[in-house]
Structure 1
């Protein structure tokens, strides 16, 4: 879960509603400053939202990119859907890419969003310019004592989402505005979407070989202290995709919030090379 440090939108960042495959998609967007060099589509992770990317939107816009971050179907402010398969999440990403950019998008997926982005590459590489994976992995994250996802899957739909959120946040001190936002975001999720995403973190397939076969340029990065997919697993994934992993200093699982300037500095040369 990415935790924003402020809810105030930077200058040049706007809220908008896009037409998704299954209903309205809530988004945050920014337009390129000066000469436009491309479009970036940002896919959030499990229990996340478009707000996870707010700090990087103006930085990418300043570098000449139109940028769109969105809530996935059934996530926070986007409409629910009937189908919460990984393929459908990916189809929505491809649909949005086509809708907002005539020349394809540089797509970045964060955490669970990386699984969606990989599937989008497999299903529609022609609609993408590049693929970037941030704090993500080659497939399922898995279930263990530290992250008992199977128990959460069983609880969703039986236990109120607010109660589940409060259990996750127990003992954590945050500014009141951020505490309120996190509770609102978690409880606004369609439980079916949240359950599906959680189950996919348990059993999503490894499609790295299919991604590599597309020939899309790939960038892989993580925070220095990322605590989701093991560091060696991410490094191995990068190698299988023909690249190396970029480590963002002074950040953990959410570099876009924790150190946005360093993230963009590490990522921008790749984007410009392929724009």
Structure 2
């Protein structure tokens, strides 16, 4: 599960409902702070069991430097729910959602970022659209590896799949909740509420997507789009060394964030924001040698 330690939200962040040709999606829209001009727009995509709130710790720094940020709940997640009257949860469907959300913004190409399983979605979206420069200004993969997750995570995914159809989400919650005693009570209550807002069908579908993940790094490398890779370490989901090798294959700007863990956006938000701003606002940033 995505980690979270605080629900502190910038005063100028607005919860919005993005109406698209594929349904309605819940998002946080955070314009540049003060009267700063917009220097770019970023679309942030959370991972499995996550939500738009995973990015809260980074929002002040990104906003202060002139970036408009939209963090979205994907189809089946938290406040988005089913998104449409006929929800479907194939990866192609969820990729189509990202394209529709981007087009609905009407702002030109966006900086696309995916955390964990969100990295799988953004990679697939860029490949499916052939790196369309009218949609994407850049793509960032954060704590996402080239292919299959670790054997430990595969065991957890298989376990979830074995119970998600026979147990309620309330019954499963004690087994997936954070065991970190430093998590504040209000955050713990939010995490439970978020878990209960998920679609069980989506949870099962995405768990299977992660088990079936194949390495399409070479396909992404053929796209004419700036790429960056951020790797919090240590990470038990994708090996940071494997993530770095993927970055080299992509010719991507690469940043490893010590003590960032699987959610450097939570544990080291200022370092992640600095890396993103360097990449987004100076796209000529050097790639991994």
TM-score, scaled relative to structure 1: 0.93
**Which ranges in structure 2 are unaligned for 5 or more consecutive residues?**
285-289
- Quick check: 2:154–2:211 contact (8 Å CA) kept in 1? no
Distance 2:153 2:238 in 1: 15
For residues 183-194 of structure 1, what are the structure 2 equivalents within 5 Å?
A: 183-194=192-203
Distance 2:230 2:257 in 1: 7
Distance 1:75 1:227 in 2: 23
* 1:122 is the counterpart of 2:127: yes
* 1:271 is the counterpart of 2:273: no
Counterpart secondary structure, 1:52: helix
For residues 1-275 of structure 1, what are the structure 2 equivalents within 5 Å?
A: 1-33=1-33, 34-80=36-82, 82-124=87-129, 125-126=131-132, 127-141=135-149, 143-144=151-152, 147-169=155-177, 171-173=179-181, 174-274=183-283
- Quick check: 2:40–2:67 contact (8 Å CA) kept in 1? yes
* Aligned-pair CA distance for 1:47: 0.4
- Quick check: 1:142–1:201 contact (8 Å CA) kept in 2? no
CA deviation digits over 1:85-139, x for unaligned, max 9?
1121111111111211422100000000000000010112211010100000113
Distance 1:133 1:59 in 2: 19
Name whichever of 140-149 and 33-42 sits farther off.
Answer: 140-149
CA deviation digits over 1:49-73, x for unaligned, max 9?
0000012122112111111001000
Counterpart secondary structure, 2:222: helix
Distance 1:270 1:132 in 2: 9
Give the ranges of 4+ consecutive aligned residues of structure 1 lying more than 3 Å apart after TM superposition.
142-147
CA deviation digits over 1:4-63, x for unaligned, max 9?
222232222121111245432111111124121111000000000000001212211211
Distance 1:203 1:240 in 2: 21
Distance 2:260 2:153 in 1: 24
What is the aligned residue count?
275
* Aligned-pair CA distance for 1:146: 7.4
Counterpart secondary structure, 1:5: coil
Q: Structure 1 pair 172/259, CA: closer, same or farther in 2 (3 Å)?
A: closer
TM-score, scaled relative to structure 2: 0.89
**Which ranges in structure 1 are unaligned for 5 or more consecutive residues?**
none
Q: Structure 1 pair 101/147, CA: closer, same or farther in 2 (3 Å)?
A: farther
Counterpart secondary structure, 1:214: coil
Give the CA RMSD over aligned residues.
1.9
